[in-house]
Chains A and B, each alone.
Chain A
């Protein structure tokens, strides 16, 4: 499990993550929701050791993120940040191959190659494997990044807004994929989402943040309530039951 104990991160005097204590990353899919500036990406940055907390302690399966060698953490925890801008001209295969870096340190074994093939196959990237990333559509590129994370072969997979800039079809495709990764491969996926209905449909658990504080942490159905969502987003949200599933209505 990923555990935060009294974690605070400030930018200047503003606390972006404010004394948060939470344990997440159980089996299945956890969705992290909340308005812009709630501290979701900062939280990911802290867990992924891209940022150092001002106070508090973060552990992954008991390993302190601050003191465990980065190369060891890379074998249990993979973090894909949002808006991945890769300037280098790399092929899909190159990218997925770098996902094996924590295990191979650049010298690929037969075992590493199997993982690379599996990841490419799992994301149906076979036909594009020798294409350069800048020649792919947004949806294909996002799949290539997910394949890289998959090749990393970690128990925990953290995805920061993987649906950004994708159209409806590709959004649904990525969400189904995340569900499959959890169900078939036993990954513990934590995903930052803006669309709460995707969160309700595909996640087992929802963690809601606002102003650097965790407002709710419960099974998806319990968070999908008008009062909870209205408090998180500071805007009226209606929740209706459609075909037995809660659906949030926030367009009116």
Chain B
């Protein structure tokens, strides 16, 4: 139980740093730390494979991709030259608190049913037996989606011919 509270506190601190830190690079590294602590939570819950995938894909690839893009667009020139709108912050904080209250109410009402551990077979073997049997078609579609996103990101970021003519 102590480790649960520790991991929760760590996640809360790092996620608050993602939203409220002034520098975007700090926010990106806080996101990296948040994702790593969430991976630890997955490990604590017994889903070892998902924990490894979280570290590899989300923390290892996505968070680093953010930092890489920040290097590309030279973020330093954008720092702190914008006026902050207080009104927007107040409204969004109120929205967050109301939503959080509703969620907490729903969780509180069902906490006894939710706290039971019913999962008996947690092994990777059963997980993948299901993935390659029942979820075979969605899995293949996911690979096609990844391929499409690779092609799309290349097409979006590459200079097209019309732009090159304009530059000349």
Answer yes or no: are A and B bound together in one complex. Answer: no
Question: Interface residues, chain B, CB within 8 Å of chain A?
Answer: none
Residues of A that sit less than 8 Å from B by CB: none
